[in-house]
A and B are shown apart, each in its own frame.
Chain A
Amino acid sequence: MLEIRWHSRAGQGAVTGAKGLADVISTTGKHVQAFAFYGSAKRGAAMTAYNRVDDKVVMNHEKYMEPDFVFVIDPALVYTSDVTINAKEKTIYIITTHMSTQELVASQPKLEGKEVYTVDCIKIAQETIGKAIPNTPMLGAFMKISGMYDIEFFKDSMKRILRKLPQKIIDANMLAIQRAFDEVK
């Protein structure tokens, strides 16, 4: 069982990202689950989304999770919510920030001693897609850190998932995924 928790703000695309990732993984024969806590369901409110991946059908419907990966797609959430809650010793963090990993960990002592990677998904999204929708770049970074799939396979899969969007937006997302893959440290 692979478990992922997303920290996001409502409207930044964590649910879409979690569902998109589940969709890609499902095509490889694995069983998936993607869900979210909507909380007050207001745009901009902090929220969490979740992925479970397993070789057998995912039957666990508890909301409680000790994640293997934590994705933070809004930089301020590192300070305003506890992104380390219910973590395991080996939980890996991929965090959106303009800072270096070292600067980030220095600014949030809870991350000290953890396996933390950083990438500026907000900036990448703004420069490629033209909007601060940091979900697809986060998945590019995840592909790099996890080594889950070849990046070309992943991009092809995402093209299928995004196929209803205008070609320009699809191309921009592909660029964003590739950039985050290349830039995550």
Chain B
Amino acid sequence: MAFDKMELQKIEVWDGNFAAAQALRQCQIDVVAAYPITPSTPIVEGYAKFLSDNYIEGEFVMVESEHAAMSGCVGAAAAGGRVATATSSQGFALMVEVLYQASGMRLPIVLNVVNRALAAPLNVNGDHSDMYLGRDSGWIQLDAFAPQEAYDLNFIAFKVAEDHDIRLPAMVHQDGFMTSHTAQGVYTLTDDEAYGFVGEYKPMNDMLDFEHPVTHGVQTEEDWHFEHKARQHNDLMTKVFPKIQAAFDAFEKLSGRKYNIVEKYDMNDADVCVVCMGTSVETAREVATEMREKGIKAGVVGLRVIRPFPFFEIAEALKDVKAIAALDRSSPNGAPGMLFNEIAGALFNTDKRALLSGYVYGLGGRDLTKAHLVSLYTELQANVDAGKVTTQLQQFIGVRGPKLAFL
């Protein structure tokens, strides 16, 4: 069955959701099994519309829950198709059981996660709680800071996930509403460029290859379980980064847009820096530039790849800085934040250990304002001047009521 190509303008004004939906169209996904949830709904809705308008040769499977959605994706991927879906928040939480199946079965599914808070209390807005929930699930996790990147990273995700040396599923994260429902200029690829980049899907151990029967979804007890998990971890630790870097390089050649595993901004001579993810990275970049006009040498480090965690790249990015703020947009619920812990781990055995403090911010979509970031950089500079962290190690940004600080 032939499908139609779509003429796109060089720059389209798209929100993050539509950008992701267009990427799924251009990758010619065979199967999307989906259950809609705010704010990710328009991604799978977009795929369904493109499918019904004959822009895709594929299949949309309507299911009764997100658990079933990811189960459908696992089945379709095991059968030998290029598979993707999207979800957020509670839907993501319901998928979690099957996320581990997908990665353990080495199925290269791409999941667009439009980051949203987790109930209770119920909240549809953007924070990173769902993204954090998935971080031990064995998936590759890529993070977009703006609609352009939600588009681009989908191509990267398929390229890396489907590589026969990798065969691991990948999530593409974008901030709920702040990216997913925010329209900005997106530089497009033509349909041919995009499809040429990801390439035709090459199945591996596919169940529909009757000449080579395989078993999927097996049981292994103490005799083999550990070896499977260890090999999966090994591939995440050793094989994924080179493939991501190769995909970034190839993508730069194609589009001129350069991505890095760790995105550094003004870090060459920075005294103070913020480490964060999502849209906050871009806002922090703008504030960092303004801080330099005030005489504070500010920089920003954004995580493009969350899993596998770029342990050495983070240490390298932070090696010359004097004070670091780790910004976590998810409640650690009784611990330091994830980024605080990961950064501490990456720096602990290095010679130069900067002053590290953690901040929890933006839960349930609470605004991270430029004014917040100005105070934050000012506080980091005060730490540098004092030669020690002058505050408690964990603080909250933008929460009402008496000031909360811990550790």
A interface, CB within 8 angstroms of B:
18-19, 22-23, 26, 31-36, 38, 41, 57-64
Contacts and interface: CB of A to CB of B under 8 A. Distances in A.
A62 B11 contact: no
Nearest to B39: A38
Interface in B166-195: 175, 177-179, 181-185
Contacts, number: 68
A36 B369 CA distance: 16
B53 to A, nearest CB: 11
Contacts of B146: 59, 61
Contacts of B370: 60, 62, 64
Contacts of B51: none
A61 B185 contact: no
Contacts of A19: 13, 15, 183
A33 B283 contact: no
Contact of B13 (A32, A36, A63): A32
Contacts of A31: 184-185
Nearest to A20: B13
B4 to A, nearest CB: 15
B279 interface: yes
B124 A26 contact: no
Given A41-B124, A62-B367, A64-B367, A35 B181 contact: yes
A32 B185 contact: yes
A36 B283 contact: no
B286 interface: yes
A63 B176 CA distance: 13
Residue of A32, A34, A36, A61 ringed by the most chain B CB atoms within 10 A: A61
9 contacts: A18-B183, A19-B13, A23-B13, A34-B13, A35-B177, A41-B124, A60-B286, A61-B178, A63-B369
Given A60-B282, A60-B283, 18 more contacts: A19-B13, A26-B11, A31-B185, A32-B183, A32-B184, A32-B185, A34-B184, A35-B178, A58-B184, A59-B286, A60-B286, A60-B370, A61-B175, A61-B279, A62-B283, A62-B367, A63-B367, A64-B370
Contacts of A38: 124, 177, 181
B183 A22 contact: yes
A33 B179 CA distance: 10
Interface centre among A35, A38, A59, A60 (most CB of B within 10 A): A59
Interface in B359-396: 367-371
B280 interface: yes
